[in-house]
Amino acid sequence: MVSCMDLNVNHFLYEVSRNLEQSRLVFEQFNTRSRIISPDEWLVIKRKALRRDNFDCPICLTSVRDDQRSVTLTSCSHIFHDTCLLTFESLAVSSQEQGAHNFCPVCRSSYQKDLLEDFDCRLSSTSETPSYYS
């Protein structure tokens, strides 16, 4: 009988831990969406993306460097062609519930995005002011 009680307590504690983790993730995603990212933070995000030294759009797998299309930077520091990300978002929204938000196609985190005008792949060129849009 004692071993039976131990199993129930362990299962109960496991469920509590799992529910707390899920709640924590929900609140983290809410905080990411509701906070506006400052221009200085966008600068840090862009530098992080440039340090990765990967300039291929993860959606269409072509380079964002030699292309005339606009480039979008996400708050999780991934770089996409703007049209590719918009298309991905439209397809993702059609499969999500009403009111759901977008998740990065690379890391699956909730994100904000910034359209980078005249995208330059050099670290020294990180002084532009972000153009916010969701």
How far is C-alpha 46 from the geometric centre of its chain's CA atoms?
A: 13
Residue 83, pLDDT score: 94
| pLDDT tens, per residue, the chain with 134 residues | 455 555 678 888 888 888 777 777 666 655 555 678 999 999 999 999 999 889 999 999 999 987 788 999 999 999 999 999 999 998 887 655 545 568 899 998 889 999 987 777 655 444 444 444 44
The SS3 of residue 118 is coil
Residue-range domain boundaries for the chain = 1-35, 37-133
- Find the distance separating the first CA and the last CA of the chain, reported in whole Å: 57
Measured CA distances, 128 to 43, 62, 114, 117 (Å)? 8, 24, 11, 8
CATH of domain 37-133: 3.30.40.10
Map the chain to HEC letters. CHHHHHHHHHHHHHHHHHHHHHHHHHHHHHHHHHCCCCHHHHHHHHHHHHHHCCCECCCCCCECCCCCCCEEEECCCCEEEHHHHHHHHHHHHHHCCCCCCCECCCCCCECCEEEECCCCCCCCCCCCCCEEEC
Question: CA-to-CA distance for 56 and 60, rounded, in angstroms?
Answer: 8
Long-range contacts of 91-96 (CB under 8 A, 24+ apart): none
